[in-house]
Amino acid sequence: MDMTREISDAGSSVSQERLIDTVRYLASDELEGRASGTDGSRKARAYIEEAFREAGLVPAGSDGYLQKIETGVGTNIIGRLDGADPPLGEEVVIVSAHYDHLGRSGDRIFPGADDNASGVAVMLEVARAQQALRSPLGRSILFIAFDSEEPPYFMTGAMGSKFFVNHPTVPIHRIAMMIGTDLLGTDPWPGWEGQLFVMGEEKCPVATSVLDAVAGIEGLAIRRLGIHMVEQFPIWGRHPFSDYAPFRDREIPFLFFTCGRPSFYHSPRDTADKLNYEKMSRIARFIFSTTVLASRTAESFRFERDGENLLSGAEVIGEGLEFVLDSRSPSKVFPGYTRLAWMALKWWRPKVRKILAKLRSGESIGQREIRVLERASLGLQSLTVKLLRR
């Protein structure tokens, strides 16, 4: 039986009902926003541990499934599926999602349905679907629910993913690739739907060939962007935004999947009823296939510091700009947008068009043109969201 068929059959065991149940529970009032070190966080942890057990994962933390973050207050949850094939099986592919959120402030609860109960729910489905595979894995797969991704821990030594990289429960040189997921439940805007952004493949040729080999899923558009397109701010410089960053900083290949920040990002309005579960089940099937192919590929993963994918990034940004600026009734399509952001996008459009034409005809572009793409990308991302509100 051919591998593509075997993987897509196994992927069809992804359950939309379970995605809904998981997000509803993690984002329920009972869990009070899952801030690290709280009762709500402990309840979330118990739920995820139980799901790991049901999916047949072997405990791979420092204490069963758990890894206490000694430098902070949180706890990572780590489970493993063994690869069948040494020496390949000694390497690991990580699939991860952070499970903490902002907790509560007085009587306001921040439920964090999209951020990041969505990623946890998808990760759990990816873990469960492995049981439906008929042939063995190559590399082992490590599933990690990271704690303490949110402020005040973000990018400090107390951040779950950073603590893991500093205190890995597997030898760090055996990590072939890290897959990070954050904010998987929404569409950018009505009319521009089904977009799944992936960053990081530009830094690893094998990651690119793995993505190329994943069978397409109807209704899901995989959009490859260089990681700098979402991180590079004017004046501020680089501002990373999720758990991939500590791995990237160690030059470990990574893929970061996200649907982007919705207008209710980091607000009490991030509730379970807002998410697109049909899209999430497509995403779970896509990430499942990516994981299995990454586990089985015989090629070795290598990080390339200077890797770029400017053309595909420019295509995405160009399409987003045209979509936004062609809208007949922006105040309806983009509620809360600012006139200033709109004007800025108008200013970038002709420049982006020129750059895109150049890249399409095979010409190379310079640093200044790359900056234009980064700023147009930030303009799009900040149309309805305050990006630096964390």
223's tokens = 């959009």
**Cβ closer to Zn ion: 151 or 350?**
151
Q: Which of residues 155-214 bind Zn ion (CB under 5 A)?
A: 182
How far apart are alpha carbons 127 and 121 in whole angstroms? Answer: 10
Q: Which of residues 57-116 bind Zn ion (CB under 5 A)?
A: 115-116
The torsion angles phi and psi of 255, rounded to 5 degrees, stand at: -125, 130
What amino acid occupies position 164? Answer: F
Q: Three-state DSSP class for 173?
A: helix
User: Of 203 and 266, which CB lies nearer to Zn ion in the complex structure?
Assistant: 266
Q: How far apart are CA 136 and CA 143, in angstroms?
A: 17
Residues 16-55 that bind Zn ion (CB under 5 A): none
Residue 118 C-beta-side C-alpha neighbours within 13 Å: 34
**What's phi and psi for 10, nearest 5 deg?**
-65, -40
Cβ 186 vs Cβ 259: under 8 Å: yes
98 sits in which H/E element = strand 92-98
Cα-Cα end-to-end distance for the chain:
48
For the bound state, the minimum distance from the C-beta of residue 115 to Zn ion, rounded and expressed in Å, comes to 4
H-state helical runs in the chain: 3-11, 16-26, 39-54, 118-129, 160-166, 205-213, 228-231, 244-249, 277-296, 310-325, 330-333, 339-360, 367-381
Q: How far is the CB of 298 from Zn ion (least distance, A)?
A: 34
Q: Least CB distance from residue 100 to Zn ion, whole Å?
A: 9
Nearer to Zn ion, 47 or 244 (CB): 244
Q: Which amino acid is at 79?
A: G
Residue 245 or 376 with smaller CB distance to Zn ion: 245
Shortest Cβ 233–Zn ion spacing (Å): 18
The residue (of 116 and 290) whose beta carbon lies closer to Zn ion is 116
CB nearer to Zn ion: give 116 or 312: 116
Comparing CA positions, the residue from 108, 125, 90, 93 lying closest to residue 19 is: 125
Q: Decide: helix, strand or coil at residue 291.
A: helix
**Minimum Å distance from CB 98 to Zn ion?**
6
# residues contacting Zn ion (CB under 5 A): 3
Report helix, strand or coil for 172.
Answer: helix
Residue 200 CB, nearest approach to Zn ion (Å): 16
CB of 122 to Zn ion, least distance (A): 13
| Between 258 and 297, CB nearer to Zn ion | 258
The answer to whether 147 contacts Zn ion (rule: CB under 5 A) is no
Q: Toward Zn ion, which CB reaches closer, 44 or 365?
A: 44
Provide the minimum distance between the beta carbon of 24 and Zn ion in the complex, in angstroms, as a whole number.
18
According to DSSP, the residues that pair with 197 across neighbouring strands are 223, 258
Cβ proximity to Zn ion, 116 vs 271, nearer residue? 116
For the bound state, the minimum distance from the C-beta of residue 283 to Zn ion, rounded and expressed in Å, comes to: 15
Note the residues at the interface with Zn ion (CB under 5 A).
115-116, 182
